[in-house]
Amino acid sequence: MGEASGVDQKISECVDTALKKLGENVNKSIYYYLEKDFNLERFEILKRPEVFEKALTTIFGEQGAKTIEKLILVEIRNTFQLKRGSTLTFKEAVRVIKNSCIRL
C-alpha cells in the first residue's frame, strides 16, 4: 500500500504543479470550488477523476478544461516518462500509471 500511496502522491503533485502554472490565486480558487461546488477535496481527485474532469469543464468550459488537462498531462508524462501520445485523458493516465505500478 505504501507504493500506491507514493504513486498517488506523485500524481497529486503533478496536478498541483500544473494548476500552479495558472497562478497561485487560480490554483487556490480551483481547489476551493472543487470542494464547495463539487464536494471534491484535493485528496479525492485520484479516487474520483471523472468528477474532477466534470468540475473543470463546468468551471472553465470545454476548451478551458482541455487546456488545464493538457497542462496536467504534461506534468504526468514528464514525471512518469509516459511514451503514449497525447490521446490519454487524465482519468486514463491515472489508470495506466496505477496499473503499471501495481505490476512492478
- pLDDT tens digits for 58-102? 999 999 999 999 999 999 988 988 775 657 889 988 888 888 775
Return the closest-CA partner of residue 26 out of 16, 14, 40, 36.
Answer: 16
pLDDT score of 85: 61
- pLDDT tens digits for 44-63? 999 999 999 999 999 999 99
- pLDDT tens digits for 11-45? 999 999 999 999 999 999 999 999 999 999 999 99
- The answer to whether residues 69 and 45 touch, using CB atoms and an 8 Å cutoff, is no
63 torsion bin: left (phi>0), alpha (psi -120 to 50), beta (else): alpha
**79 phi and psi angles, rounded to 5 deg:** -70, -40
Which grid coordinates belong to 87? Answer: 490521446
Domain architecture of the chain: domains with CATH: 2-103 (1.10.1200.200)
pLDDT score of 23: 95
Rounded to a whole number, what is the distance in angstroms from the first to the last CA of the chain? 13
